Amino acid sequence: MGKRQIMISFVLIAALVLLGVSVSSGHNNSGANFECMGCHLGGSGDVTIKIEGMPKVYTPGKLYKLSLILDSKMKSDLEVQGGFGLQTDAGSFVVLDKKNTQIGDNNMLTHTKEGSEFRKWKFGWKAPAKEGDVNINVMAVAANGDFSPAGDEVGVNAFSIKSK
Ligand code: HEC
């Protein structure tokens, strides 16, 4: 290996190491998995989770534009405010705000790194083509901004919608 190749491999390895570090330390780029409370705990106080625009009865195949609102008194030391995970047992989530939301593992809709600076997120839900009851489950974390899962508040909610 020449000097130049050694230099190139060194730069490549350094880049990989940096990449690895930033991915593992930047979990505010999404919910690690749906069970937020498996890791996040310690906050006292209540978290309320609402979904604005959610129909009680859906029309099959229709796209609904919704907003998830996380309400908590938790104050954050940093710009990180919170995050969420949403799961549906029928139909599918549609990303309407690419900067702040994304679809992660197991089709869970979750926040992005930019999206962790909010406690309100816009998203779409496309109703299934066939009729039947649907359950949408949500978990959300109101962060205290300490880059750790400790002291954050976790809220859970479930919504059940019927078809026409
Ligand atoms: C396997 C454990 C684990 C699970 C599950 C998990 N988290 Fe985290 N979370 C962490 C750790 C560790 C940190 C701190 C390090 C970091 O930010 O990368 C963190 C940080 C965060 C932060 C920034 C907190 C702060 O105060 O700075 C948010 C927001 C967040 N998680 C949201 C969520 C949401 C929403 C879920 C569920 C959908 C979730 N997490 C599930 C381990 C977890």
CATH of the domain at 137: 2.60.40.4060
Point out the ligand 1 atom lying closest to the alpha carbon of residue 78: 27
Q: 30-69: buried (b, 16+ CB within 10 Å) or exposed (e) per residue?
A: bbbebebeebbeebeeebebebeeebeebeeeeebebebe
pLDDT of residue 34: 87
Identify whether 2 is part of a domain. no
120: which residues sit within 8 A by CB, 6+ positions away? 67, 68, 69, 70
Q: Tell how far the Cα of 47 is from the centroid of ligand 1, in angstroms.
A: 16
The response to whether residue 36 sits with its C-beta less than 6 Å from ligand 1 reads yes
84 domain residue, yes or no: yes
Domain contains 5: no
* 1 within domain boundaries: no
Please write the tens of the pLDDT for every residue from 114-136: 999 999 999 999 999 999 999 99
88 in any annotated domain: yes
In a domain, 3, yes or no: no
Expressed as residue numbers, the domain containing 73 is 29-163
**Whether the Cβ atoms of residue 137 and residue 109 lie closer than 8 Å to each other:** no
Q: Is residue 147 part of a domain?
A: yes
Q: Give the pLDDT score at 41.
A: 80
**Residue 153 clears pLDDT 60, i.e. is over it:** yes
Separation of 27 CA from ligand 1 center, angstroms?
6
Q: How far is the CA of 113 from the centre of ligand 1 (A)?
A: 11
pTM summary value: 0.84
Domain count along the chain: 1
Indicate which atom in ligand 1 lies nearest the CA of residue 76: 26
